[in-house]
Structure 1
């Protein structure tokens, strides 16, 4: 499949097609929050995001910034060619459970060590995820966990027909 035509970013926008491969990790400026079941289950000003070509950023929140009991070990694992072996969590809040809705890399590959004590969450099953007060939109499709903010332009990996990008 041939690469899609990237949208040209306007002033103040980022194109996911300008993100690197292999991915890069960078600090997030501002506050990141996650709500489930009407409860604030994570709140931090110490998040990082992973940027990879064609993907909206994946936000990683320190484990310590999740409410007690918000994360429970879940079955299964996966492997990223860049970050290493991932484990999964069920996310809990306000009496609700989002199964396998979060993951982390407890022993990440070199260059991604900062992710060891951080967790990424799929935005779709949550009530709300925010970046600096903006409610995010989940990355299209059910496989990837990026968060789309208003300053991003694509097209984004995850839309139908994009698996070969």
Structure 2
């Protein structure tokens, strides 16, 4: 979740509201300086390198990084005979990105007839995330999409009593779970494996990824498909949940201090186009 994705304040499914006396527009875009050096790698070459990136937050999309054209290597962008219309930002020109012997069509774009209120994006170009080899902040690769400064994760230790059942079968019983609070999502409860009956967990094929937590593995419990998940090697920032397991409250019975948990708004995660089309090898590399 971030400022404009999932249930953030600028998202179309926001769970909060602005306390203002006038009705706000249905869609609000937000642009701000990233204030981080960002680089783009393509065909084994650095094709863009800038400390003047602007991040655009658009409802229903992950944030998009816009680079000054002056910070893109000369001759990398080849204008195409293709123009589309953005509902808020006007005419959009598309580019083929070329470096060495490698080219990818429709892999960069520029809004060429911006309204006056969107002048921050003038003279800037954005690159399709999956069309590039990689994006970096300084020397560290950023996976999935541009990092959203408004996305926050807090992890807290608790002594609350968490019990998970599949019918009459107790799957987990713990008084030392971790609770993970993630911007815009209902709390997620993670249980140490020592407090889980792993004999009832059946590993399933297929992993997903979170740009903020890493690779996620799944398990079935009885007939409940992918009812359990675990970040077996969570990324550094959330290392505390590594190897722990969490449970889908709409697939198995999860009780917290005797109270049955239910699927809450924001609890489900919706994949978002090609931003999530990554291979396990790429994420692990």
Relative to the length of structure 1, the TM-score reads 0.73
Name the structure with the higher helix share: 2
Answer whether contact 1:26 1:48 (CA < 8 A) is retained. Answer: yes
User: SS of 2:108's equivalent?
Assistant: strand
Map residues 1-40 of structure 1 onto 2, 5 A cutoff: 16=5, 17-20=7-10, 21-40=27-46
Partner Cα separation in structure 2 for residue 83 and residue 149 of structure 1 = 27
Per chain length, whose mean CA-contact separation is higher, i.e. which structure has more relative contact order (CA < 8 Å, sep 6+)? 1
Answer whether contact 1:101 1:125 (CA < 8 A) is retained. Answer: yes
Q: Deviations over 1:73-99 (max 9, x none)?
A: 112111111111100111112321111
Q: Within the alignment, does 1:94 sit opposite 2:100 as a pair? A: yes
Residues 57 and 131 of structure 1: is their aligned pair in 2 closer, same or farther, counting only changes over 3 Å? Answer: farther
Q: Deviations over 1:19-71 (max 9, x none)?
A: 52321111102111111110000000100011022210011000000111111
Aligned pairs, how many? Answer: 139
Answer whether contact 2:94 2:109 (CA < 8 A) is retained. Answer: yes
Which structure has the larger Rg over C-alpha atoms?
2
Q: Which runs of 5+ in 1 are unaligned?
A: 1-8, 140-147, 160-165
Map residues 1-165 of structure 1 onto 2, 5 A cutoff: 16=5, 17-20=7-10, 21-132=27-138, 133-137=140-144, 149-150=211-212, 155-158=270-273
Residues 48 and 149 of structure 1: is their aligned pair in 2 closer, same or farther, counting only changes over 3 Å? Answer: farther
User: SS of 2:73's equivalent?
Assistant: coil
Partner Cα separation in structure 2 for residue 101 and residue 49 of structure 1 = 18
Relative to the length of structure 2, the TM-score reads 0.44
Q: Which runs of 5+ in 2 are unaligned?
A: 11-26, 147-209, 214-265, 275-285
Write out the 4+ residue segments of structure 1 that deviate beyond 4 Å after TM superposition.
none
What does residue 164 of structure 2 align with?
A: none
